[in-house]
């Protein structure tokens, strides 16, 4: 039986970063990863360390919206290559309610015969976690379904009493750890089907994501570093609470072959990190946005205007 871990958590909680850390541990190198991304162009599979043939992307939308059999087919397709891996991690989109996916894994005959009942690991960040729980049913369900709760971004802030009380109300039985203290073994702990069934029965049901939109800005030509800096500053200032998530790989004119990795949630846009090389053959700039009422054309035109101004200044 193949051990399975479902890693979930709202937008920007640090799922991809944590999974990358797990995969760098030699003990967990033989791990297949299924990444589900909410958007037009997938990025997470490029950002996960050791990305290879055992990293698969479901890009049909978040797992709570896609045809549920897609995940079952993916797991069984992986199972045909089971000599190449020992365990599976499924990373959900930050907008995903994990309930439909877990129901598939508990009811599909072929999956049940070949895979263990999944352990659910949910990340909650200390900076925006209480707001996400207050505003989004998906975030509440992610917490309610957890076998283990991991508190992230404790280097930026200690968990507020309000956040801890929310976690107590939603899932008092789940043990909590900081991501910095989490041993990779917790991803593949045993999960009780009876307990998971009870948690599934108690989750909220939603049919759509309301006014949440996703879009991706792409550029074939590398951006000047100053243009990227000004863009991130402008987005944080003008979009603020409407920016649910920003994530991207950006080709920088002054650093050929070393893409910038950018992240942002609401008003907080982190300084770029730089990779030593592109993680795949695709070296185009791709910035994915998940927003509430931020038009695609606003960001695209903003980048065009900033880039033109910076290039004119450089040529002067």
Give the per-residue pLDDT at 61: 38
207: exposed, middle or buried (Cβ count in 10 Å: 0-12, 13-18, 19+):
exposed
* pLDDT digit string, tens, across residues 148-203: 999 999 998 999 999 999 999 999 989 999 998 888 888 887 777 788 888 887 77
The candidate with the shortest Cα–Cα distance to 59, out of 70, 73, 72, is: 70
* Confidence category of residue 227, pLDDT binned at 50, 70, 90: very high
Q: What is the spatial distance between Cα 244 and Cα 247, in angstroms, rounded to a whole number?
A: 10
Q: What is the spatial distance between Cα 208 and Cα 97, in angstroms, rounded to a whole number?
A: 10
Give the per-residue pLDDT at 37: 57
Give the per-residue pLDDT at 204: 67
Among 89-93, 154-158, 267-271, which stretch is predicted with the lowest mean pLDDT?
Answer: 267-271
Phi, psi torsion values for 258, nearest 5 degrees: -125, 85
75: exposed, middle or buried (Cβ count in 10 Å: 0-12, 13-18, 19+):
buried
Q: Mean pLDDT of all residues in the chain?
A: 82
- Residues 175, 149 contacting (CB under 8 angstroms): yes
Domain spans in the chain, listed from the N-terminal domain onward: 4-202, 212-315
In the sheet that holds 87-91, the strands lie side by side as 55-58, 31-36, 87-91, 4-9, 119-125, 148-152, 176-178
Beta strand 148-152 pairing with 285-292: unpaired
* Confidence category of residue 208, pLDDT binned at 50, 70, 90: low
Q: What is the spatial distance between Cα 137 and Cα 4, in angstroms, rounded to a whole number?
A: 24
User: Measured between alpha carbons, how far is residue 275 from residues 134, 224, 260, 281 in Å?
Assistant: 35, 17, 7, 14
Give the per-residue pLDDT at 226: 92
pTM: 0.70
Give the fold, CATH level 3, of 4-202.
Answer: Rossmann fold (3.40.50)
**Residue of 6 and 45 predicted with greater confidence:** 6
Q: What is the spatial distance between Cα 189 and Cα 68, in angstroms, rounded to a whole number?
A: 24
Q: What is the spatial distance between Cα 179 and Cα 264, in angstroms, rounded to a whole number?
A: 19
CATH for 212-315? Answer: 3.30.1220.10
Among 67-71, 95-99, 305-309, which stretch is predicted with the lowest mean pLDDT?
Answer: 67-71
Q: Cα 186 vs. chain centroid, distance in angstroms?
A: 19
* pLDDT digit string, tens, across residues 110-146: 988 999 888 999 999 999 899 999 988 889 999 999 9
């Amino acid at each position: 039986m193949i051990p399975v871990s479902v890693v979930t958590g709202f937008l920007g909680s640090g799922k991809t970063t944590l999974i990358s850390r797990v995969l760098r541990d030699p003990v967990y190198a033989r791990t297949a990863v299924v990444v589900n991304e909410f958007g037009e162009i997938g990025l997470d599979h490029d950002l996960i360390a050791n990305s290879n043939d055992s990293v698969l992307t479901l890009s049909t939308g978040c797992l709570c919206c896609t045809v549920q059999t897609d995940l079952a087919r993916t797991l069984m397709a992986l199972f045909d290559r089971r000599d190449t891996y020992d365990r599976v991690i499924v990373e959900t989109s930050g907008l995903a309610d994990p309930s439909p996916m877990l129901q598939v894994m508990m009811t599909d005959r072929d999956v049940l015969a070949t895979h263990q009942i999944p352990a659910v690991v949910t990340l909650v960040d200390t900076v925006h976690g209480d707001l996400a729980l207050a505003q989004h049913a998906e975030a509440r369900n992610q917490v309610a379904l957890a076998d283990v709760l991991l508190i992230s971004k404790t280097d930026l802030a200690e968990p507020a009493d309000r956040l801890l009380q929310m976690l107590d109300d939603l899932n008092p039985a789940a043990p909590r750890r900081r991501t910095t203290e989490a041993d990779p073994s917790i991803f593949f702990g045993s999960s009780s089907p009876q307990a998971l069934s009870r948690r599934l029965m108690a989750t909220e049901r939603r049919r759509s994501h309301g006014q949440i939109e996703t879009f991706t800005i792409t550029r074939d030509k590398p951006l000047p570093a100053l243009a990227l800096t000004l863009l991130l500053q402008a987005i944080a200032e003008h979009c603020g609470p409407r920016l649910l998530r920003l994530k991207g790989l950006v080709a920088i004119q002054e650093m050929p072959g070393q893409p910038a990795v950018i992240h942002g949630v609401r008003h907080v846009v982190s300084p770029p990190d730089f990779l030593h090389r592109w993680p795949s053959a695709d070296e185009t700039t791709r910035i994915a946005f998940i927003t509430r009422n931020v038009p695609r054309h606003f960001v695209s035109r903003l980048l065009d205007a900033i880039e033109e101004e910076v290039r004119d200044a450089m040529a002067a």
